[in-house]
């Protein structure tokens, strides 16, 4: 598929230079970059940690007013 991209001029120059250094076309470079980005996004979701917290009963309230707590 052929498409048009609008990218920053400096980014274009960097991509073009890096593709040339690697001896590949800009198309190939951009395809690989997009695949890596997509793979990274899906792996980030898979590896997302779930944190759990223990819940305790509150018990009796403090016998202090907010003003008394501020003075402590």
| Domain boundaries, given as residue ranges, for the chain | 1-48
pLDDT tops 80 at residue 47: no
pLDDT tops 70 at residue 1: yes
What integer pLDDT is reported at residue 44 of this predicted model?
Answer: 60
Mean predicted lDDT score pLDDT of the chain: 86
Architecture category of domain 1-48 in CATH:
Orthogonal Bundle (1.10)
Q: How distant, in Å, are the alpha carbons of 19, 32, 70 from that of 29?
A: 6, 5, 61
Task: Quickly list H helices, the chain.
Answer: 9-22, 26-46, 66-71
pLDDT in tens, 10-41: 999 999 999 999 999 999 999 999 999 998 87
The pTM of the full predicted model, rounded to 2 decimals, is 0.55
What integer pLDDT is reported at residue 45 of this predicted model?
Answer: 63
What integer pLDDT is reported at residue 25 of this predicted model?
Answer: 96
């Amino acid at each position: 598929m052929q498409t048009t991209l609008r990218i920053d001029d400096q980014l274009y120059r960097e991509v073009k230079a890096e593709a040339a250094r690697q001896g590949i076309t800009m198309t190939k470079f951009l395809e690989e970059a997009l695949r890596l980005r997509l793979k990274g996004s899906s792996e980030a979701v898979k590896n997302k940690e779930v944190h759990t917290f223990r819940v305790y009963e509150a018990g009796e309230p403090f016998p202090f007013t907010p003003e008394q707590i501020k003075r402590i």
